[in-house]
Every structure is written in C-alpha cells, then in structure tokens.
Amino acid sequence: MPHLKTGSGISWHYEAEGEGEDLLFIHGWGVDRRIWRQQLKYFSQFYRVISVDLPGHGKSEWIKMDLQNMAEDLMEILMHVRVEKVSVVGSSIGGLLALKLYQFFPQIIKKMIFVGSMPKFAKSKDYPHGLDIERMRKLGGQLDTNYPAIINIFFRSLFTKEERKSRRFKWLQKFRQFDDLPSRPALIQYLDIMEQEDLRDVLKAIKVPVQFINGREDEICRAETVEFLKNSCPNAKLEYFEQCGHFPFLSKPYEFNETLEKFLKDTTL
C-alpha cells in the first residue's frame, strides 16, 4: 500500500502494478481508485498501471487545495515511480485533473482518454453545457445535512434504469457497502473546483492523441456537451456506449477495456 507525502504536505495513496508502458487512471468525485478494478486487473497484464486515490478519497489524506496543487502533486508521484511518458485515463473530474496535468506538464503525456468528462463543468452564458451551478451548490449543502445518504443517492443517479436493474449494479452496491467514505470537506471543495475551473483553451491546445468515451445516456456529460468536445478536438476519437450512464467502464467493463486497448495500441495517431 504505497503512500507518498508530496509538496502539498499530504500523503497520497497510489498503486503501480504490472510492467510495460505507463498508464494512469484518475477516478472522479465521491469514489476512489478501486472503481477502476476491472481495468487495473486487465491492463496490468500488459502495462504498468498507476492509480491514485484523489485527496480526501480512499486512503489519501486531505487538506484544502486547488487543482493546480493536485496536478503538481500528481507529477511528484509520477516522478517518484520514474515515469517518462504516460497515457492518462480520467473519469469525470479525474479528466479535469488530467487536463490540468497536461497544462503544466505536457511533456510527460503520451495519450489522453476522457470518460464522461469535460473541460468546464459549470454552465455559463458562453457555455450552455455542463451542470447548473445552483444544483451543484445545493448538492454541497445537502452533504452538510444528510451525509452519507446523499453520496449513495448521487451514485445511483449516475446509472440508467436499465443499469440499476442489472446484476452487476447490485454487486456494485453490495461492494460499496465496505468502501471508505470520502472526506465531506473534500467533496465540497471539489464541487467548488468544478464550478470555477475552465480549461476549454487547454483542451483545444492538446497536441497528443485524444479519445472521448461516453455513455449515451450520461446525465453529467450529455450529448450536446459531447458535440462541443468533438468541435474542440476534431481529430479526437469518440466512442459511445449504448444504454450506459456516467460509468461505462463499470457497466460494460469488457467492452470498455477493448475500446481503450484499441486506442492505446493505435500507432497511426
């Protein structure tokens, strides 16, 4: 169970498994690195797979910090395990952190894969996509009054009705009963980060191969947002997973792994 105390002063929990080219997985809000368990198990056969618990999640500590601090800490971890080039897979806000990492350390990035993620999560006058700011703030307020029930309700909402009826979802719910809850102050801070960060210019400036993977019925990163992503990165690969919500890698792990592996192995990009 490796930990690294970084320049920010917190101890990050990370794992590095397997051998080969480096592949980094970054999870999203309210979960931890174990959400990638099917990907870590599969890709560690062919790659050196690095996964982290974001600050305040899983077994990583928490202090109040911004996204740049996190990117700098993440770079410390990558240097600690002697990464030269890495392909990054980011889910939801994990994709936002991946963009921040690229903004400050583009030389280390080989390929980028965004799953249900976007460069700006909050709607604004010039950006009609993403999430309603008042709803985000309401969620933060609910965390203060009804925690951890709100976490479970929110997690369920990220899946379609069909997904919630599946055996796999029932297994996930049972498994999550044993998960460590993330830090409540951390979750509120991440909502603030999602409200404030705008990395649209970073996305448009990316010079490495990019792939977007989305559930067709994702209520966070919706169809109109995906159109914006396509226009921002016209050379990017786009894969839709039918009858999936925000976590296609959970609902259809084998198909997701196949899609990701094909992109990683594509030498024509």
Segments of 18-154 assigned E as strands: 22-26, 48-52, 86-91, 109-115
Do the beta carbons of residue 94 and residue 193 sit within 8 Å?
A: no
| Percent of the chain whose pLDDT exceeds 70 | 97
Do the beta carbons of residue 211 and residue 262 sit within 8 Å?
A: no
Place of tokens 């410390």: 76
**Looking at residues 143-150, what average pLDDT do you find?**
85
Which residues partner with 114 through β-bridges? 90, 212
Show Cβ contacts of residue 132 under 8 Å, excluding neighbours closer than 6 positions: 123
Helix (H) or strand (E) holding 98: helix 93-104
Q: What is the pLDDT of residue 148?
A: 82
| Percent of the chain whose pLDDT exceeds 90 | 84
Which structure tokens are listed for 105? Answer: 């350390």
Which residue type sits at 137?
A: R
- Residue 24 main-chain phi, psi, to 5 deg: -110, 130
Give the domains, in start order, of the chain with CATH numbers.
3-265 (3.40.50.1820)
- Residue 107: exposure state from Cβ atoms within 10 A (0-12, 13-18, ≥19): exposed
Question: Which has the closest alpha carbon to 55: 12, 21, 118?
Answer: 12
**How confident is the model over 17-60, as pLDDT tens digits?**
999 999 999 999 999 999 999 999 999 999 999 999 999 999 99
Is the confidence at residue 179, as pLDDT, over 90? no
* Region of residue 229 (phi > 0: left; psi between -120 and 50: alpha; otherwise: beta): alpha
- CA–CA separation, 99 vs 97, rounded Å? 5
Q: What is the pLDDT of residue 268?
A: 86
- CA–CA separation, 131 vs 221, rounded Å? 9
| CA-derived radius of gyration, the chain | 17
**Looking at residues 64-81, what average pLDDT do you find?**
97
* Region of residue 246 (phi > 0: left; psi between -120 and 50: alpha; otherwise: beta): alpha
Which structure tokens are listed for 255? Answer: 């198909």
Q: What is the pLDDT of residue 180?
A: 74
**Looking at residues 108-116, what average pLDDT do you find?**
98
- CA–CA separation, 144 vs 147, rounded Å? 6
Quick one: pLDDT band at residue 176, thresholds 50, 70, 90? low
Which structure tokens are listed for 36? Answer: 């990638």
